[in-house]
Structure 1
Amino acid sequence: MNITILNTAIKQDKKGLFCINDIHKASGNDKSKQPSNWLRLDSTQELIQELEDSSYLRSGQKAIEVINGGNYRGTYVCKELVYAYAMWINAKFHLHVIRTFDKVIQQDYQRQRLRELAKVEYKPMTDAIKLERENQGKDIKPHHFSNEADLINRIALGMTSAKFKVHHDINKNESIRDYLTPCQIKCITDLQRANTTFIQLGMEFEERKLKLMELFKRNHIVSLFDEQQSIAA
């Protein structure tokens, strides 16, 4: 989950806790509102205790942790404490934090839903490839499937999956779907679905490539451009 509040990126630790020092920075860095002042309050300590004694947190997760060294040093807290700290700062900032988190959570949910849909749509395409080659009495090799995936990715992303991983410093064993935007995932899903139909109709590779590029230009290029502009803003 990538959170940016008032142009300040909020770091997360490996356990999903948020850097409260970044929250303080986003609020304007008022010295009287430093996290240490808030953490000393009895009400804050009571809330921390309640969170850790209850079932609000994921199994094994703490409400607050401190990292003392490195690039990620700072005090990290769960989402509930982020909200409580923001409310202590002021009501306007509190509402902004809640709305930002709600928006990012909704985007993450949408991305995950689209990711699963893209995964589901991939199998019919590979099944169509397999059936088409069997009907033609041809052997089926792994590259027949990877060629189709590369075709889709080149059109949707401008590069193959392997190059995308290198370009974005992604481990070669990870799926690129976890790093795609909602519009990119939707584009890949639509192209996979269309390619499945084209394969079933017996279209050759180059003909399918032209058809898919036309589909990309007509239905996706504008939304992808707008999305990238929004991300960069």
Structure 2
Amino acid sequence: MTQNKKNTIEVRGITITVLHSQENDFISLTDIAKTKENDSRAADVIKNWIRTRSTLEFIGTWEQLYNPDFKVVEFDHFKMNAGLPSFVLSPGKWIEKTNAIGFIVKKGKYGGTYAHKDIALEFCSAINPTFKLFVIKEFQRLKEEEQKQLGWSAKRELAKINYRIHTDAIKENLIPKHLSKKQISYVYANEADILNMALFGKTAKQWRDENPDKKGNIRDDANASQLICLANLENLNAVFINDGLPQKRTIGKAQSNRH
């Protein structure tokens, strides 16, 4: 089972949970319902909304568009009974009977009802159209932040891959077989700090001394542009090492590449 990633947005004083599951975003209807009723009545608000004909037509059409396993016969049965005083429906029952994928129902203290963003925004329209605009704004801001983080993560992975190329070049060309583990680690650190000095203007140890409360290392603290530059420097230095270029000339070439 794919683990759901959880995030939150703040909308007019209300914290709304957003789940990322199976490459889709699901927004908490339970949290949105708090704008209309208190926590204890949120489930009733959702049930009253989902049992209406207009809602059923919307979510049924959505499922037919995106869910090849949706049970249309069961959907038609619900739609025929919509509006009758005796008709009762919950998101859980909707999922169970129709094999719907547009909702997620989570149990427990931090549970609740979540809906795909398309459906959640439709729910907002029924609850509070003005509030919907604020939800859209904050949700878009969240996605922009996630894209920035995704870009940084990809560039950090690129730097890690190139770091392996860099260390392989060091291992094959700079480390004599008779060195101890401690001496070998010094060779690796020395070559890494050449690049740290060229890019950041300080060694890894100097960064740690200046930032005792930060987790990770000097490279984890780099921005996306610095990571791109670092990946290029690692590639260049690996080439210099394989070509037998003296370290003094390597430093000069790395610094010129920085500028």
Structure 2-normalised TM-score? 0.52
Instruction: Report the counterpart of residue 54 of structure 1 in structure 2.
Output: 65
1:8 aligns to 2:15 (yes or no): yes
Instruction: Report the counterpart of residue 87 of structure 1 in structure 2.
Output: 125
- Is the 2:155–2:228 Cα contact (8 Å) retained in structure 1? no
1:29 aligns to 2:29 (yes or no): no
| Letter in structure 2 aligned against 1:128 | H
Deviation for aligned residue 1:40: 2.1
Q: RMSD between aligned alpha carbons?
A: 4.5
- Is the 2:67–2:100 Cα contact (8 Å) retained in structure 1? no
Which segments of 5 or more consecutive residues in structure 1 lack a partner in the other structure?
162-179, 212-233
Partners in 2 of 1:158 and 1:46 — Cα distance?
52
Against the structure 1 CA distance between its residues 107 and 61, is the aligned structure 2 distance closer, same or farther, given a 3 Å change threshold? farther
Against the structure 1 CA distance between its residues 19 and 112, is the aligned structure 2 distance closer, same or farther, given a 3 Å change threshold? same
Size of the alignment, in residue pairs? 181
Instruction: Report the counterpart of residue 247 of structure 2 in structure 1.
Output: 202
Partners in 2 of 1:106 and 1:13 — Cα distance?
14
| Letter in structure 2 aligned against 1:202 | Q
Determine helix, strand or coil for the equivalent of 2:66.
coil
Determine helix, strand or coil for the equivalent of 1:17.
strand
Per-residue CA deviation, residues 70-102 of structure 1 (Å, 9 max, x unaligned), is 123322211111110111222321111111111
Instruction: Report the counterpart of residue 64 of structure 1 in structure 2.
Output: 103
- Is the 1:65–1:76 Cα contact (8 Å) retained in structure 2? yes
Work out which of the two has the higher radius of gyration on C-alpha atoms and give 1 or 2: 2
Identity of aligned residues (%): 17
Partners in 2 of 1:57 and 1:111 — Cα distance?
33
- Is the 1:3–1:100 Cα contact (8 Å) retained in structure 2? no
The structure where strand makes up a greater share of residues is: 2
Match of 1:75 among 100, 113, 117: 113
- Is the 1:122–1:192 Cα contact (8 Å) retained in structure 2? no
- Is the 1:118–1:189 Cα contact (8 Å) retained in structure 2? yes
Instruction: Report the counterpart of residue 19 of structure 1 in structure 2.
Output: 28
Partners in 1 of 2:128 and 2:15 — Cα distance?
17
- Is the 1:52–1:63 Cα contact (8 Å) retained in structure 2? yes
The structure where helix makes up a greater share of residues is: 1
Deviation for aligned residue 1:21: 0.6
Against the structure 1 CA distance between its residues 65 and 118, is the aligned structure 2 distance closer, same or farther, given a 3 Å change threshold? closer
Structure 1-normalised TM-score? 0.57
Partners in 2 of 1:75 and 1:21 — Cα distance?
6
